[in-house]
């Protein structure tokens, strides 16, 4: 028996019992495949627009009773939902590892499933009180936040479970019902998680639907949908905006990023190398707010490149079910081709390939090793385009003002980071055009710290009190 076959056998009955209730009948649906081995793992149902209409009708009918339960009871049920996730965490993580490709260990599949429970509990416990805005001789007015009604949640394939929870946990907490449209690339994992949540939630307040191309646009345009939350590419985000124009649905859009990091002369290359590595290559680089352009001062350039190469050499890549691996394959062929094209373009342009640089075909069809690209300049495709994979262009600078200008040059602004003396880094951070700027780190998120982008990286905020407000409608009571 091959090693891959042994790993698949280890899934045993738990994982397959989880997907039994959500996958399509034999001979129907679309086949979901293991990202590492390309072997079938299940059948994703293919819903139609008619199925979506029926789901909207059910979710709309269920919403008033859900809202009427009140914040306390909804919060209790969200904690119960988190308990259910934790009770099924290992088979769910293994299913996620196979379908998405991310390894079980490191900041990957087990980490993602654990984050689902954490964000559910955080949404349950976050307090959003009515705000007194006027209380004087002129009168009294309070600002309240009410349920919107029905939320459409359209998710991505890179962090399919965690980002779905980011969308549904605050929405449910505020009394909305939710219809989830997962990416077709990782739909089986998401539908399985929803089935676990629905073991404790009232019927029809949370419904998953996936299928034909028109489902997402119909969901965004539907007059019954009062809010659309979308995480994905900027071009698709623009289509969501267009689709939602007819019903004026509220929007939260977390779109593409091409995050810049700036290493100051005061930084210690050895001390920051591992933070830089995971800032860039968490989830094998398939993260919207990953570090994707690194500007390094000339005085530290060679030392930073060497330190990153040393860290890269210690990070094993392979099948995600192998406990030793912390890097996996690209999730799909389209993304693999983008990474390969950008690396070849950089090589042809004279860039220096420090590590990687060619497909790791000995590991499988979609494996591409961590590729550090040095001696590359702004304007190169690998700098200006979002790679969304295991490659990082490293750009040399000597003038800080020029580095800041180049970091702000592109029409995206999800995240950014500054590395070095904290006071110096804080002074630079305020000059960067990004929704979040991290100091001596990149990409770390907290369920109580608001998160969102600027420019073409989207708008709206998630997490914490602000996240609850963005899945609510404000109401002023005055008098």
Catalytic residue among 67, 99, 254, 462: 254
Q: Which two tokens stand for residue 157?
A: 């394939």
CB 180, CB 209: distance < 8 Å: yes
Beta bridge partners of 211: 47
Treating both helix axes as pointing N-terminal to C-terminal, what angle do 70-87 and 187-197 enclose, rounded to 10 degrees? 120
> Quick one: which of 356, 361, 365, 366 has its CA closest to 330?
366
CB 252, CB 178: distance < 8 Å: no
Dist CA 312 CA 316 (whole Å): 8
CB 80, CB 227: distance < 8 Å: no
User: What is the DSSP code (8-state) at residue 472?
Assistant: E
Taking CA atoms, 44 is separated from 37, 157, 208, 210, 448, in Å, by 18, 14, 12, 8, 34
Catalytic residue among 99, 210, 288, 462: 288
Dist CA 231 CA 210 (whole Å): 16
Q: β-strand 139-147 against 131-136: which pairing, if any?
A: antiparallel
Is 254 one of the catalytic residues?
Answer: yes
User: Using CA of residue 425, residue 428, residue 429, residue 432, what is the dihedral sign?
Assistant: negative
Give the 3-state DSSP-derived string for 261-287, with helices as H, strands as E and coil as C.
Answer: EEECCCCCHHHHHHHHHHHHHHHHHCC
Dist CA 432 CA 450 (whole Å): 17
Is 288 one of the catalytic residues?
Answer: yes
Dist CA 100 CA 24 (whole Å): 19
Residues designated catalytic: 254, 288
């Amino acid at each position: 028996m091959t090693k891959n076959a042994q790993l698949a056998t280890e899934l045993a009955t738990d994982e397959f019992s989880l997907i039994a209730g959500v996958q399509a009948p034999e001979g129907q649906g679309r086949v979901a495949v293991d990202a590492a081995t390309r072997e079938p793992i299940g059948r994703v149902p293919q819903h139609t627009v008619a199925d979506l209409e029926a789901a909207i009708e059910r979710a709309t009918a269920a919403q008033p009773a859900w809202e009427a339960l009140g914040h306390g009871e909804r919060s209790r049920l969200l904690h119960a939902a988190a308990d259910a996730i934790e009770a099924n965490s290992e088979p769910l993580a293994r299913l996620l590892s196979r379908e998405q490709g991310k390894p079980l260990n490191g900041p990957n599949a087990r980490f993602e499933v654990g984050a689902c429970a954490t964000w559910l509990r955080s949404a349950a416990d976050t307090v959003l009180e009515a705000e007194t805005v006027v209380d004087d001789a002129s009168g009294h007015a309070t600002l309240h936040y009410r349920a919107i009604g029905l939320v459409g949640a359209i998710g991505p394939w890179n962090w399919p479970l965690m980002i779905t929870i980011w969308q549904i946990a605050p929405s449910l907490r505020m009394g909305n019902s939710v219809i989830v449209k997962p990416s077709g690339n990782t739909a089986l994992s998401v539908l399985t998680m929803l089935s676990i949540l629905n073991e404790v939630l009232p019927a029809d307040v949370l419904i998953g639907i996936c299928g034909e191309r028109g489902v997402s646009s119909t969901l965004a345009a539907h007059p019954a949908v009062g809010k659309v939350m979308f995480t994905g590419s900027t071009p698709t985000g623009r289509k969501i905006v267009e689709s939602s124009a007819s019903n004026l649905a509220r929007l939260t859009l977390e779109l593409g990023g091409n995050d810049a990091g700036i290493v100051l002369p005061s930084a210690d290359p050895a001390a920051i190398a591992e933070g830089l590595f995971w800032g860039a290559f968490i989830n094998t680089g398939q993260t919207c707010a990953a570090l994707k352009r690194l500007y390094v001062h000339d005085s530290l350039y060679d030392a930073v490149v060497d330190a990153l190469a040393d860290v890269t050499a210690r990070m094993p890549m392979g099948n995600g079910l192998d406990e030793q691996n912390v890097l996996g394959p690209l999730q799909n062929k389209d993304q693999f081709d983008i990474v390969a094209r950008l690396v070849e373009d950089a090589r042809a342009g004279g860039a220096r390939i420090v590590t990687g640089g060619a497909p790791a075909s000995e590991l499988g069809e979609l494996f591409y090793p961590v590729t550090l690209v040095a001696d590359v300049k702004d304007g190169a495709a690998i700098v200006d385009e979002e790679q969304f994979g295991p490659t990082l262009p490293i750009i040399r600078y000597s003038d800080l003002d020029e580095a800041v200008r180049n970091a702000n040059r592109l029409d995206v602004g999800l995240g950014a980071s500054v590395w070095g003396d904290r006071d110096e880094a804080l002074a630079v951070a305020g000059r960067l055009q990004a929704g979040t700027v991290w100091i001596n780190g990149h990409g770390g998120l907290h369920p109580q710290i608001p998160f969102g982008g600027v420019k073409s990286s989207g708008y709206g905020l998630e997490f914490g009190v602000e996240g609850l407000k963005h899945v609510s409608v404000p109401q002023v009571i005055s008098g």
